[in-house]
Structure 1
Amino acid sequence: MSKVPLWQWSAVKIASATKDGSLTAIEATEAAIARMQEVNPNLNAVVESLADAARAEAETLDAKEGPKGPLHGVPVTIKINVDQKGHATSNGVAAFKDMIAHDDAPVVRNLKAAGAIVIGRTNTPEFSFRADTDNPLYGRTHNPWGRHVSAGGSSGGAGSAVMAGIGALAHGNDIGGSLRFPASANGAVTVKPGLGRVPAFNPSQKAERGLLAQSMSVQGLITRTAGDLHLSMPALIAADPRDPFHVPMPWRGEPLKDPIRVAVSREDFGFGVHSDVATALDKAASALSDAGYSVEAVDPPLARETGEVGYRALLGEVNALIGPDIHQYGSTELNTIFEEYYRQFPPYEGTELLTMLAQRTHYARKWSLFLEDYPLVLTPFMLKPFFSPGRDAEGPAGVQDALGGAHWSFIMNFLGLPAGNLPTHIAELPGGAQPIGVQIAGRRWREDLIVDAMQAIEGTIAPACETLWADFP
C-alpha cells in the first residue's frame, strides 16, 4: 500500500483500491474520520460529524460481494443546504436548525448509490447567499491556507474540508459562483454543471423555487484534481424523476476535431486585473497550448452586460420571493450585506424583470454561436486575489471586492453554461501564500471538455494541494 497517508488519496485511487481489494471501505472511512477529528476543530468546515453512520455504512459495503458502484468506499461530505434523511437542512439559518429532512435529495441518493460514504455535513453562510462562509448558527469556516484568506462561499465548508483532506469529494452547489468561489479560495478544482445536468430537489421544501433560481442553481462537487471529477460526475448526473427538467445525457459527448480552440479573455469590466491573476491566466493558457489546444485572445460577446443583467434579475427574484424570509430570519449583518447587493446591482422589478428574463435567451444565443467557434473560454475568475474573511461585510468596497466584479461567475449561471475552476498559480502576498484560480467555461452539456482541459493543465501545473500539504501537514 502507498506510503502516502490515506487521507491524501484521490477518489480515483481510493475507488481503484477498494475495487481490487487492496483497501477496505472501513480503512478509507476511518482515515477520513481521523483527519476530520484532527483538523476540523481549527477549520470548522464540517459542522455535523456523521462518523458513526459512516463506519456502519463502510462495514456494510465491505460485507458486499464486489463494489457497489464507481465510488465504492470514497468518503464525501454534503453541504447543509441539501436534504439528507434524518438531518437538518438548516442552510446556515438558526431558525431552520430543526428542519429535519424526511428523504435524501437526488445528489445524496446518487452519491450513496455509487458507493460513496457520507462522513459529515459542511458549513454554508446564511441562506447560502454570500461568497464568504460565516453564520450565527455554526460560526465561521476557515481556509486551510490560513486565516488571512476567506474560505469562500457559499460552499466554503466543502472547499475547506476537501483541501484539508476531510474526504476526497465534497458536495456543493452554485447559483452565482458558490462552487467556484470556494474552489478559487481554497485551491480546489470544480466544474459548475450546466442547466439540467444534475437532478436537483429538496424533499423538505415548502414551495417551489423561483424560475430563475431553478435555471441558475446547480449541484456539483469540489475535488482536488480534475481526474476525480471525471470519476465522480457520471454518478452525480444519474436521472431522478423528482427533477422533471433533468437532461438525461451521458457524461462524455462526441470528440471534437483537434486542435480544440480556446478563447482567452482578459476582460476586467473596468476593475483591473491584479498581476497575480494575470500570471495565473498566462500559466493556464500556456499549459493548454503545450497540451495541443489552439489558444487565441478573443473576447466573448456581451460579457459585462450578461453578467450584470443576470445578477440584477436574480436579485429581483430573490427580493420578491425570499426577501421577506431573509429580512425576518437573517442576521443584521446579512441584511446589511443584502442592502449593499441591491445598491450595487439594483434588482429588476415587475415588467422590467419579465423583460430581462426574456432577454436571457438573446444572451444565451450569442454565446451559443460564439461557442461554435470556440468550444472553451478561459477567463479570470476573481479579478484580484481572494479577499480576507468578512470582507463582504465591510461596506460598499467590501461587497465590490467580494461580488462587485464577479461578472465572469454570474454570466455562466445566468446562461446555464458549464464552467470549471482550478488553481494555476500560488501567490506570495503580504498576508501569506494563497492559490489563484482561473475559470474555463464551455459549450452547453460539455462539462467533459472542460474537465479534459483542466486535466491537461494539471499535466504541467501540479495540484495546489501538494503545496498546501507541505505547509499544512
Structure 2
Amino acid sequence: MTDTEIWRLSATDLAARIKAGEISAEDSVSAAIQRMQTVNPALNAVVGDCSAEALEQARALDKTRRDGAPIGPLHGVPVTIKVNVDQKGHATTNGVTALKDLIAPGDAPIVANLQKAGAVVIGRTNTPEFSFRADTDNPLHGRTHNPWGKHISPGGSSGGAGAAVMAGIGALAHGNDIGGSLRFPAAANGAVTVKPGLGRVPAWNPSQTVERGMLAQSMSVQGLITRSAEDLHLSMPTMIASDPRDPFHVPLPWRGEPVDGPIKVAFTKNTFGYDLHPEVEAALDAARAALEDAGYHFEEVEPPDVFDCGRTGYRALMGEVWTLMKGDIDAYGSQTVRDIFEVYFQEFPPFLDTELVQMMAKRSHYARRWSLFLEDYPLVLTPFLPQPFFKPDRDTEGAPGVHEVLGCAVYSYAMNFIGLPSACVPARLANLPKGPQPISVQIVARRWREDIAVDAAAAIEARVGRMCEELWNRMA
C-alpha cells in the first residue's frame, strides 16, 4: 500500500493489517507523519512534533513482532496526545505561555496505557488557554483551524485533537472533557467520540503539584476522538486499564451484560427555549430512523430536567474555578481569556461558600433521578447543540457569543455533572450559506455502559457513513 492509502485506514483496519503482516508499524507511522507534514501547516492542529521518537518506537515494535513476541491491540497505530496531559520529556503547556517549559517527568496513565497497547505518539495537539474554551486558540501555540473550513470553529478544548484526526493525522486522537471538550470538537469536525463516565479512565498528571478541585475531579474525563465508532470499541478497552495513581478508577470491563430485548431509547428534541435549527432537527430524525431500522425501540419522553441539572452543575464548577483558579487565570492568562472568564461568570453566576457545598451535594439528587430513568430507557437520544456549530472566536464577542457557544449547551455539561457516559456522532452534513458542516447528535447511556452508546453511534454511522470520506474529497 502507498502512504496515501495507509493514512486513510481506520485504527481497526490498520491494527488488523499490521497484525497480519500486510504493513509494518514503520509504514503506518511514516504515512501518518507524512500526512501531518502535508496538512498540519494549514491547520495548526499538532503543536508538538514527535516524529523522530515515533519512528524509532515504530521500528522497535516491528522488531518485537519479528522476534515473535506478543503484540498489543494497538500495535503500530499512530495517535496524538493533547498538550494538557503529561507525556514524559514533553511540555504540558495547557495552552498557557507560562507553562511552556513545564516538562513532564513521566507519562500520565492515558499515555502509558496507549503505549502499552502498542500505539505510537506522533504529535501533541493544541488546546485553548487552561483548556477552558469551546474554541481553540492561545498566544503560545496560535489558532487551530477546522479542516472543513475557517467558517467553523474546530471546537474545544480538544480542538487540535478533533481537527488532527479528521484531517488524517493519526488514526486516534486523545482528548478530555470537563464540560464538552471531547464532544464539542467531535461535533465541529464530524468525528465520533464517547465521553466516558466518572471513574472509567484513570487520570493523573505526574507534573501536577496540587490536586484538582473536587468538581474538576468528578466532571473531567479522559477519552478519544476517532473517525469511526468501531475504533472506539477497539481502543477504549486499552484506555480503561487500571492505574494505581488514580485511586478512584473503577475496574470494570468495556463490555457489560447484554440488554434484554430491543433497547428502549428515550427521544427528545427539547432545547429549553433555545431555537432548534432545522438542520439539527433533521439530524435527530436521521439518527432516530437509523436506530429504528437497526432494531432499537423509541419513545418520545422527557428525561429528568437537563436544563436545571446542567445550569446548576456549571454554576457550581464556576464557583470552584473562582475559588481555585481565578488567581492563575488573572496572573497567567491573556487578556482574551480573562475577558471570556468574566463573561462566563456572568452567564453562570458562581455558587460560592455554603451554597457551593449545597449544590455539590445536590449532584447526587440529579444523578439518582437519571439512574432511575435509565433503568427504563438504557439510552437517550438528544440534541448536542441546538444550532449548527459556531464560528471561530464567537466566545470573544461578549455575552451573546458566550451564550451561543456555551450557555445553550446544557445537554453537554449536564452529563459531566452527573458522570454519565455520552457519545457524540455526526448524523447529517449540512450545506449552509457559510459552507458545509457536519451536524451531530448525543447518545446518553446508563452508568458504566459506554459500550452500548458506541453501539448506537455505530448504527447511526452505518446509515450516514463516515464523515471523513466526504471531508477528504473536499480537501483533495
TM-score (structure 2 length as normaliser): 0.98
Partner of 1:201: 204
Letter in 2 for 1:200: A
Read off the aligned partner of 1:79 and give its amino acid letter.
K
Structure-to-structure mapping, 1:166-315, within 5 angstroms: 166-315=169-318
Cα-to-partner distance string for 1:429-449 (whole Å, 9 max, x where unaligned): 111100001000100000000
Residues 3 and 27 of structure 2 are in contact (CA less than 8 Å); yes or no, is this contact kept in structure 1?
no
Query: Separation in 2 of the partners of 1:103 and 1:439?
Result: 35
Measured against aligned partners, the alpha-carbon deviations of 1:251-303 in whole angstroms (never above 9, x if no partner) come to 00000012000111111111111111101111001100000000111110111
Question: 2:139 corresponds to which letter in structure 1?
Answer: P
Deviation at 1:68, TM superposition (A): 2.6
Residue 206 of structure 1 and its aligned partner are, at CA, apart by 1.0
2:22 matched residue in structure 1: 22
For the Cα contact (< 8 Å) 2:423–2:443, is it kept in 1?
Answer: yes
Matched, 1:387 2:403: no
- Partner Cα separation in structure 1 for residue 341 and residue 300 of structure 2: 36
2:3–2:30 Cα contact (<8 Å) kept: no
1:154 aligns with 2:137: no
Contact 1:68 1:113 in 2 (8 A): no
Mapped to 1, the partners of 2:108 and 2:247 lie a distance apart of 14
Distance (whole Å) between structure 2 residues aligned to residue 227 and residue 4 of structure 1: 22
Q: Write the letter of the residue equivalent to 1:52.
A: A
Deviation at 1:246, TM superposition (A): 0.1
**Residue deviations 1:166-194 (CA, integer Å, cap 9, x gap):** 00000000000000000000000000000
Please state whether the residue corresponding to 2:331 is helix, strand or coil. Answer: helix
Per the alignment, residue 441 of structure 2 pairs with: 438
Query: Given the alignment, which residue of 452, 462, 472 partners 1:459?
Result: 462
Task: Determine if the alignment matches structure 1 residue 336 to structure 2 residue 339.
Answer: yes
Aligned with 2:463: secondary structure? coil
Distance 2:339 2:274 in 1: 23
RMSD: 0.9
SS in 2 for 1:104: coil
| Corresponding position: 1:31 with 2:38 | no
Q: Deviations over 1:7-34 (max 9, x none)?
A: 1100000100111111100000000000
Instruction: Give structure 2 stretches of 5+ with no counterpart.
Output: none
Equivalent residues, number: 473
Say if 1:77 and 1:170, in contact at 8 Å, map to a contact too: yes
* Aligned mates of 2:393, 2:261 — CA distance in 1: 45
Residue in 2 that maps onto 1:404: 407
- Whole-angstrom distance in 1 between the partners of 2:235 and 2:112: 13
1:44 matched to 2:47? The reply is no
- 8 Å contact from structure 2 (residues 26, 62) kept in 1: yes
Tell me what 2:453 maps to: 450
1:299-330 C-alpha deviation (Å, 9 max, x unpaired): 10111100000000001001100111011101
Gaps of 5+ in 1: none
C-alpha distance in structure 2 between counterparts of 1:167 and 1:465, whole Å: 13
- Note the C-alpha offset of 1:456: 1.1
Name the structure 2 match of 1:142: 145
In structure 1, the residue matched to 2:123 is: 120
User: Secondary structure of the residue that 1:5 maps to in structure 2?
Assistant: helix
Distance 2:169 2:2 in 1: 19
Contact 1:162/1:223 (8 A) holds in 2: yes
Write out the 4+ residue segments of structure 1 that deviate beyond 3 Å after TM superposition.
Answer: 1-4
8 Å Cα contact 1:19-1:66 kept in structure 2: no
Decide whether the 8 Å contact of 1:75 with 1:169 is kept in 2. yes
Match of 1:372 in 2: 375
- Cα contact 1:308–1:407 (8 A) shared by 2: yes
Tell me if structure 2 keeps the 8 A contact 1:88–1:99. yes
Tell whether the 8 Å contact from 1:35 to 1:166 is kept in structure 2 after alignment: yes
Counterpart amino acid of 2:324? L
Alignment-mate amino acid for residue 205 of structure 2: N
2: CA distance, partners of 1:423 / 1:2: 29
CA distance in 2, matches of 1:67, 1:417: 35
TM (normalized to structure 1)?
0.99
Assess if the C-alpha contact under 8 Å between 2:194 and 2:450 holds in 1. Answer: yes
Q: Which residue of 1 aligns with 2:13?
A: 13
Note the C-alpha offset of 1:67.
4.9
Q: Contact 1:162 / 1:170 at 8 angstroms: preserved in 2?
A: yes
Q: Which amino acid in structure 1 is aligned with residue 181 of structure 2?
A: S
Note if contact 2:104-2:207 (Cα within 8 Å) is conserved in structure 1: yes
Percent identity, please.
64
Alignment of 1:315-354 (within 5 A): 315-354=318-357
Distance 1:459 1:91 in 2: 36
CA shift digits 1:189-247 (9 cap, x unpaired): 00000000000000100100001110000000000000000000000000000000000
The answer (yes or no) to whether the contact 1:172–1:219 under 8 Å persists in 2 is: yes
The CA distance in 1 between the partners of 2:242 and 2:313, in whole Å, is 28
Contact 1:19 1:67 in 2 (8 A): no
